[in-house]
Amino acid sequence: MAQVLTMPAAGAGPLSRAWKRVRDRLPLEGGNYPYVVARVKAKKTLLLPRDTYAKMLQMEIPSIARMLGDGEYRQQVVALGARYSGVDLIERATSENLARVFTQIYEFCEGQLQTMIGNYLDRWDVNNIKTILRGKLYGATPQEITEDLVPAGSLPAVFLQELVQRETLAEIARMGA
């Protein structure tokens, strides 16, 4: 028989206080969970089927870019097609699509759920900052650094661009302070 986890009666002593501490840490309130789950499941249907990846491994790079341009990545492939080609186009289009989808998911979350999703997406901010610092340290051009950024976290792309445009690591550190 399945057990149901219920809160102990008021004034039940240490057990009641322990339950309150656990309940306060659980992210069960303050979010639109059913709505977000439905939206994410709908987005999941847009992913490429597993067998498509096997087919793509047998294709030439231009054919892969064309195939991606016919699907969910159309907007990014068209926008970037004039500046990039081949593997660079595929990588940039998929990165921009990833950032767009993550941003959409974050924006339709509410309350504590949005905080949790934001905390997860902050790892992209950390990766972007590391990319900028490494690029500056090794003398990469601003364009080369920008190509490797994936603005899927809470830091706006405009702010990341401002960091990229700074000349020294000290200037970057001052902006972040």
Our count of domains for the chain comes to 2
Q: Does the pTM exceed 0.75?
A: no
Domain boundary residue among 78, 109, 140?
A: 109
Q: Is residue 22 part of a domain?
A: no
135 and 100 in a single domain? The answer is no
Predicted local confidence at residue 15, as pLDDT: 60
146 found inside a domain: yes
What phi and psi values does residue 154 have, to the nearest 5 degrees?
-90, -15
Same domain for 126 and 96, yes or no, is no
Binned average pLDDT, 10 residues per bin, the chain of 177 residues: 48 60 59 91 91 92 92 91 91 92 92 91 94 95 92 89 92 80
Q: Does residue 131 belong to any structural domain of this protein?
A: yes
Does a structural domain hold residue 49?
yes
For 124, residues 6+ apart whose C-beta sits below 8 A from its C-beta are 99, 102, 150, 151, 152, 153
- Specify if 116 maps to a domain: no
Q: State how far the Cα of 35 lies from the Cα of 109, in Å rounded to an integer.
A: 8
Q: Do 52 and 93 fall within a single domain? A: yes
CATH code for the domain in which residue 44 is found:
1.10.132.50
The reported pLDDT for the residue numbered 2 is 45
* Range(s) of the domain holding residue 100: 32-109
Q: In this predicted structure, what is the pLDDT of residue 126? A: 94
- Report pLDDT for 12: 56
The reported pLDDT for the residue numbered 34 is 92
> What whole-number distance in Å separates Cα of residue 126 and Cα of residue 114?
18
Residues 151 and 87 in one domain: no
**Predicted pLDDT at 122:** 92
pLDDT at 13: 60
Note whether 34 and 110 are within 8 A (CB). Answer: no
Of the three residues 109, 134, 158, the one that is the final residue of a domain is 109
**Residue 58 belongs to some domain of the structure:** yes
